Amino acid sequence: MSNWEAVIGLEVHVQLQTASKIFSGASTAYGAEPNSQACAIDLGMPGTLPVMNAGAVEMAIRFGLAIGATVAQRSVFARKNYFYPDLPKGYQISQYELPVVIGGGLDVRQDDGSHKFVQLTRAHLEEDAGKSVHDAFHAETGVDLNRAGTPLLEIVSEPVLSSAAEAVAYLKTLHTLVRWLGVSDGNMQEGSFRCDANVSVRRRGEPLGTRAEIKNVNSFRFVEKAIDYEIERQIRLIEAGGKVVQETRLFDANKGETRSMRGKESAHDYRYFPDPDLPPLVIAAEDIERVRAAMPELPAARRQRYIDNLGLPEYDATLLTADRTVSDYFEALLATLPAQAKLCA
């Protein structure tokens, strides 16, 4: 199996930390009584009109600047049409051809100290759907629409990751960054940071193989297991003379395997079109500069500063900058004990 290589691209849905929804004033607080936080706008009732949440836009700009991307001064919301019980409008408002964040990348450090620059394709703003609840009623499914309209930033990487470990290292770097920037609480149990993993395999030197997409994995450990399982499955399948089909798969954490859920839709199945209820999202250059001026020192820069200026070992610098609250605490402590960096660490 040694001449096989895996190709992985990740789509990460990050829930933005705004108090209200992306197009309405309803609360985004987690854990409320079902259906107590979905207003007429979230449900797309006739006669309502969505209004863009400026806080969500600001967070998208902050993220775009942090990854060295282009922040589009004009982007467009589109309707992504599909039928699902927890999507009462029959479409999701998302961005398609013109996303708000284009390109950029993340320098990803692995535990062995190696670095890899991971290019991003795009990040776009969209609303979340509601939730089907399967355990509230006997033999019936409930629908909780509190999550409908919650702001998401979907962050899409290029297919450049080559192992499950690398994918997890990328995810952890991204997770640290969105929390550091204050754009998301990153709470994975509550679904604020969830990942779709696209996986394909090819023999070295060959063009990209057909990918399968594993949906909604919400822990680092499960992402690693799901990708490893999927790589093995595809290699075995091809070596046995079979063909990988493009499809959506689910990871079963109990069995440690992925299973086919449905054939993969293509873009045309969604019948995307610009949402006539929303004007293009226009961001003034001054707004981008205002956000840039207020950017915090980023984790990678801070880590390097701890090593170069404070003389801390890489290990300490890495630990201290994995989480901003820890790092800020260290900074506050250091201010009271200058020149005692190692002791503070």
**Site residues (vs Mg ion, CB under 5 A):** 11
CB of 170 to ligand ADP, least distance (A): 11
* Minimum CB–partner distance for residue 85 and ligand ADP (Å): 21
- The token duo for 186 is 């990153």
Pick from Mg ion, ligand ADP, none: which does 322 bind, CB < 5 to 8 A by kind? none
92 interacts with ligand ADP by CB under 6 A: no
The CA distance from 71 to 65, in Å, is 7
Task: Give the SS3 label for residue 229.
Answer: helix
Closest separation between CB of residue 248 and ligand ADP, Å?
Answer: 9
Subset of 236-275 contacting ligand ADP (CB under 6 A) = none
CA distance linking residue 215 with residue 203, whole number of Å: 25
Alpha-carbon separation of residue 159 from 90, 109, 116, 214 (angstroms): 30, 18, 13, 14
Q: Which is nearer to ligand ADP, 8 or 164 (CB)?
A: 8
CB of 196 to Mg ion, least distance (A): 5
Judge whether 320 and 109 are in contact, CB under 8 Å.
no
Which structure tokens are listed for 330? 């260290």
The yes or no reply on residue 208 touching ligand ADP (CB under 6 A) is yes
Cβ neighbour number for residue 336 with a 10 Å cutoff: 8
Output 11 or 232, the one with its CB closest to Mg ion: 11
How far is 26 from 42, CA to CA, in rounded Å? Answer: 8
Residue for token pair 């023999």: 203
CB neighbour list of residue 3: distance below 8 Å, 6 or more residues apart:
203, 204
Nearest to 115 by CA among 58, 75, 60, 173: 173
Task: Give the shortest CB-265-to-Mg ion separation in angstroms.
Answer: 9
- Which residue's C-beta sits nearest to ligand ADP? 9
Closer to ligand ADP at the Cβ: 53 or 157?
157
CA 120, chain centre distance (Å): 11
- Taking the complex as a whole, the smallest distance from the CB of residue 249 to Mg ion amounts, in Å, to 12
Residue with the shortest CB distance to Mg ion: 11
Residues 334 and 135: their CA atoms lie apart, in Å, by 50
Residues 117-156 that bind ligand ADP (CB under 6 A): 156
Nearer to Mg ion, 42 or 196 (CB): 196
H-helix or E-strand spanning residue 93: strand 91-95
Q: Based on the shown chain and the rule CB under 6 A, indicate whether residue 75 belongs to the binding site for ligand ADP.
A: no
Which positions from 184 to 203 touch ligand ADP by CB under 6 A, shown as an x/- string?
--------------xxx---
Distance between CA atoms of 66 and 303, rounded to whole angstroms? 15
Q: Taking CB under 6 A as the criterion, which residues in 1-20 touch ligand ADP?
A: 7-11
State the binding partner of 7 from Mg ion, ligand ADP, none, CB within 5 to 8 A by kind: ligand ADP
Q: Which is nearer to ligand ADP, 40 or 267 (CB)?
A: 267
Binding site for ligand ADP (CB under 6 A): 7-11, 156-159, 198-200, 208-209, 211, 213
